[in-house]
């Protein structure tokens, strides 16, 4: 059903560097740059819906969605932690509880949350005990 997720950035080069490092933790990721009508975008492809960062096409400043979160599937609790730690080392900001197990109404999950350099809220998630 889903084709892609795209978030805005005020620094396309920094966003490309950040997400190349962070998404590389999840496996092989192909990175493709695109520019159309003066708007630069970077697409990250890795076996599911595309993830992309873009300069806003309207020329206004990018801002993070209030209440929005983008979740990336991780293969293990260890990968959740590595995803988080790589994001923090690359310039992200850790938010909410430290990475780890949460007992939720959906069952046990391993989660991490951070904000990218533009303030977008990102989650790493592994379902299972």
In a domain, 21, yes or no: yes
Q: What is the pLDDT, as a whole number, of residue 18? A: 98
In a domain, 60, yes or no: no
pLDDT per position as a tens digit, 56-111? 999 899 998 888 899 999 999 999 999 999 999 999 999 999 999 999 888 899 99
Instruction: List CB contacts of 32: < 8 A, sequence separation 6 or more.
Output: 42, 43, 45
pLDDT category, 129, cuts 50, 70, 90? low
87: region left, alpha or beta (phi > 0 left; psi from -120 to 50 alpha): alpha
In a domain, 26, yes or no: yes
Q: What is the pLDDT, as a whole number, of residue 78? A: 97
Q: Which domain holds residue 113?
A: 4-55+68-127
Q: What is the pLDDT, as a whole number, of residue 10? A: 95
- Please state the domain count of the chain: 1
Q: What is the pLDDT, as a whole number, of residue 104? A: 87
Helix (H) or strand (E) holding 50: strand 50-54
Q: What is the pLDDT, as a whole number, of residue 1? A: 72
Helix (H) or strand (E) holding 22: helix 12-24
Q: Report the predicted TM-score, pTM, of the whole model to 2 decimal places.
A: 0.90
The DSSP secondary-structure symbol of 25 reads T
In a domain, 41, yes or no: yes
In a domain, 63, yes or no: no
Task: Tell the burial category of 11 from Cβ atoms under 10 Å away from its Cβ (0-12, 13-18, 19+).
Answer: middle
Instruction: List CB contacts of 14: < 8 A, sequence separation 6 or more.
Output: 91, 117
CATH of the domain at 8: 3.10.180.10
């Amino acid at each position: 059903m889903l084709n892609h997720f795209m978030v805005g950035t005020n620094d396309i080069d920094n966003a490309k560097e950040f997400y190349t490092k962070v998404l590389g933790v999840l496996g092989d990721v192909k990175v493709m740059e695109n520019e159309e009508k003066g708007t630069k975008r970077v697409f990250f492809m890795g076996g599911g819906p595309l993830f992309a960062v873009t300069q806003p096409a309207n020329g206004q400043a990018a801002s993070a969605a209030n209440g929005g979160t983008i979740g990336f599937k991780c293969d293990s609790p260890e990968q959740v932690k590595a995803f988080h730690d790589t994001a923090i080392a690359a310039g992200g900001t850790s938010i909410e509880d430290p990475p780890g197990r949460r007992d939720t109404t959906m069952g046990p999950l391993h989660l991490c949350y951070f904000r990218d350099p533009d303030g977008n809220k990102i989650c790493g998630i592994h379902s299972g005990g």
